[in-house]
Structure 1
Amino acid sequence: MTTPIQWFPGHIARARRQLQEQLKLVDLVFNVLDARIPQSSQHPDFAQLIGERERILVLNRADLVPVRALKAWEAALLHQYPAVVTTNAQSGAGIRELLKASQSAYQRVNERRRRRGMLPRAVRTAVIGFPNVGKSALINRLVGKRAVRSAAQPGVTRQLQWVRIAEEIELLDSPGILPIKFADQEAAIKLAICDDIGSLGYNIEQVAARAFDLLLPLIPERLEERYHFDPTPFTGEGWLAHQAQHRHHSLTQKAAEQLLQDFRRGHLGPVALEAPAPT
């Protein structure tokens, strides 16, 4: 029996209420998604939260996705957003392009202010996304220094803070926002596989078994190269049991941890777990 994934820490509930108040002051939103799972890392309440505000889509961790898949997502998402920028917040790739897109949004926001007889001002920008998709690391790259706490685990940012990155732009860093309940359990599993929700919310062996089932048709040769046996006869559960028996003293949890760690760190090569719907 599969245990449903649910994770909604207390600080997330408080941050969501605070974010809804701060969004009243916001002109522009950076919607940060995990490039490996753009669909599953899109918050189901995003449109309701931001209303008619300017938006820029950021596909972070772009280095972990094949170029062809990344280009397909960019093309698909440009139908919904005025700008789609691919980034790697750890290396700084794509930051210049994001700043350029922000400048264009700054001009649009202040042109509307001028038409209303208002003076131009810095554009207030909120950075929104699930935990651990790289929001704080992205802000630190934009600022050019360590302005906010950042770590490779969900739930590090626990309060809202404003950071000025230029005369024209102020950024609001916020804790990752989560739905109160994951109605889409397949999306929740993919978030867990990519380490975008806390490990207390899921069974690691179930998540790793599902990760194997998703990865097998995509990268069978890479799995065989990494683990030194043919993966094709196995389901996820069977593969974990085999791996545990031969490499982890029969500890299935250790086998699960290794698979997820290898995927998350890019040791299995670039992989896109989702593709845009055909048009």
Structure 2
Amino acid sequence: MTAPTINGTRYPQPIEHLLPAARALDLPDGEAFPSRNRLMREFRIGAPKAGELLALLKTEPAAPPADTTEPTTTDPAAPEPAPPVELDPTPEPEITTPEPVEQVAPVSRPDTPPAPAPARSAVVWPVVLLALPAFVAIWSGWVGLGGLTGFGIVHPLPGIWDSLSINSAITLPIGVETYGAYALYVWLSGRVPAPALRFAKWSALGSLVVGALGQVAYHLLVAAGITSAPWWITTAVACLPVAVLGMGAALAHLVRTHD
């Protein structure tokens, strides 16, 4: 039901004008009065005014309906009512469809400021120049550390393709650094659910820290002339491919979850 208005406006309306409309609201079965929230929603008034209106509804009884029943007693001296006169049906007025009005395009005023030009996005090609030397250093560092921790040439398809050989040390830069870059992109994009955003943030920072520690460990071992890494470095490096697989699968699941 549309709330009553004063002079066709939506300015604050007196309580006495809203009281009849509040009494006329349709109520569900078992409710004697509308709730304060419904009064606020129906008449677009604040909580204090809705509470005052509800108090008036509970204190002032509604006006009794007018008695529209005809009297059962008849006066014998009263004249009999005249029979109804049938009127000729009036012809229905002819409905004419108005002609469509041609719409005129609005003319801009001379003092109207022009629309701002769309902002140009920043170029990203300099990132390629920055990434090339970093890629060379990171790749050589991880492959060298892999060689010091037991990674080396393996034959992934024995009996099927015996001549195929891969240096397993390349799994370190591909796994750790690729996941770090992807998690950083997911975090900064902000277009994923909140759980995925938090996981991408902390896992990206963790991957970058692990990558930096791997480079530091390799250069310290080489500078010290050590040809075989200590057991605790070998243990940490050997767990990296498994950790990257688990974090990548978890992030892919969280990105596609919209609950």
Fold shared per TM-score above 0.5: no
Structure having the larger proportion of residues in strand:
1
Structure having the larger proportion of residues in helix:
2
TM-score range, shorter chain: under 0.3
> Which structure's CA Rg is the greater one?
2
Q: Give TM-score, length-normalised by structure 1.
A: 0.17
